Structure 1
Amino acid sequence: MFFKRTILACSLALIFPTLPSYAEVGAENSNAAQAEKPGLWQRFTDNVAETWNNSPNHDLYIPAITWHNRWTYDDEHIDKYNERPWGAGYGISRYDSDGDWHGIYLMAFKDSFNKWEPIGGYAYEKIWRPLDDKDFRLGLGFTASVTARDNWNYIPIPAPLPLASIGYRRLTFQATYIPGTYNNGNVFFAWLRWQF
């Protein structure tokens, strides 16, 4: 059962946004509609499709840390949570003409309860290269993903999250923050991404 739900969640995260019916939303035959800039949804679906079809890079994901915000958890919860998210993942990625990063990924790791949690989806980061060394970069963006957790019976859950990164050449340290309430959520999650 776990395996079937994991496959379903990951498939939805990767395939749903690239369905032809979504890629054609807003397509008009009139000259006026063609002259307009594409809307956010159209740009999003175009970027997902372009990443899926034309990504020259392959990426290995290695989860590195989960940190439960000490200001939003009591000691009882902190003491029993796992903060070593053993796991791995795979993705494809590309840099667009502006130098921004796009990726589609699938990762599985040990969650706070030391149970397997899959996550997969599309990610985007605006990239800045603040130094003369163009191999060094900073990124800020988002991921539109789907995850599933043991404590929620592995029901697929949408997970739109912020992303930030620092990278040099093929190695990138990427991170997100999962918002929440007291003793729930409020987790910093980071991983290494190696491009090969």
Structure 2
Amino acid sequence: MMLIMSSTALAEEPVKLGMWSRVQDSLSQTWESQNYELYIPVYTWHNRNYYSDEKINEFNENPWGLGIGKYRFDEDGDWHALYVMAFQDSHKEAEPIAGYGFQKVWRPAEDFRLGVGYTVGITLRQDMHYLPIPVIAPLFSVAYKKLAVQSTYIPGGEGHGNILFTWLRLQMN
């Protein structure tokens, strides 16, 4: 009798998923979402403290491009997305990127949201012979209703990285 009660008691306890299972579950839920977003790159800022004026003048800071993603808000109201985007990099070469984004979202007003989180993905760059390059970067956003301004900062050193990349994120539904 005690063995049966123990089994029953264990069956009633909630199952806690391991980290990998939680990641898989989150990616699966995001992939199955019917919510789409459009991404429109708008500005690339090269931190003037790490580049000479001559180098800044050579850079493209207008990253023409486009992207699309599937997104969802979880039970806590946090944003999750799977996305692909392509844009002109600092040297006016095509740079595609694909990945997953997460932001913890605060809602100081009904239609206004602030988000802080991260993105993990893969990008390809001409100056790296279009070999896959892993990306892990912070994400920041300010959103009103269906429109968000979202940015990431790519850290680096003297003469490389240290770039603020900004795009518009428009919910399609």
Normalised TM-score (structure 1): 0.79
Q: Which has the higher helix share?
A: 1
Amino acid at match of 1:106: V
Per the alignment, residue 35 of structure 2 pairs with 57
CA distance in 1, matches of 2:156, 2:81: 26
Per the alignment, residue 70 of structure 2 pairs with 92
Tell me the SS of whatever aligns to 1:130.
strand
1:105-116 equivalences under 5 Å are 105-116=83-94
Determine which of 91, 116, 122 is the counterpart of 1:140: 116
Per the alignment, residue 42 of structure 1 pairs with 21
CA distance in 2, matches of 1:104, 1:46: 13
Deviation of 1:36 after TM superposition, in Å, equals: 5.9
Query: Could you give the per-residue CA deviations for residues 141-194 of structure 1, whole angstroms, max 9, x where no partner exists?
Result: 111110000000100111011101000110011100000010100000010011
Determine which of 64, 77, 80 is the counterpart of 1:102: 80
Per the alignment, residue 45 of structure 2 pairs with 67
Tell me the SS of whatever aligns to 2:108.
coil
Query: Could you give the per-residue CA deviations for residues 62-105 of structure 1, whole angstroms, max 9, x where no partner exists?
Result: 00110000011111211100000000011110111111111011
CA distance in 2, matches of 1:148, 1:88: 15
Larger radius of gyration: 2
CA distance in 1, matches of 2:23, 2:103: 13
* Structure 1 portions without partners, runs of 5+: 1-30
Amino acid at match of 1:159: V
Per the alignment, residue 167 of structure 1 pairs with 143
Aligned residues: 162
CA distance in 2, matches of 1:174, 1:39: 30
Per the alignment, residue 3 of structure 2 pairs with none
Task: State the Cα RMSD in Å.
Answer: 1.5
Identity of counterpart residues, as a percentage? 51
Tell me the SS of whatever aligns to 2:160.
coil
Query: Could you give the per-residue CA deviations for residues 12-46 of structure 1, whole angstroms, max 9, x where no partner exists?
Result: xxxxxxxxxxxxxxxxxxx69x9663343332222
Q: Which has the higher strand share?
A: 2
Normalised TM-score (structure 2): 0.89
Question: Within the alignment, does 1:189 sit opposite 2:165 as a pair?
Answer: yes
CA distance in 1, matches of 2:51, 2:18: 40
Tell me the SS of whatever aligns to 1:98.
coil
Amino acid at match of 1:145: G
CA distance in 1, matches of 2:143, 2:152: 15
* Structure 2 portions without partners, runs of 5+: 1-9
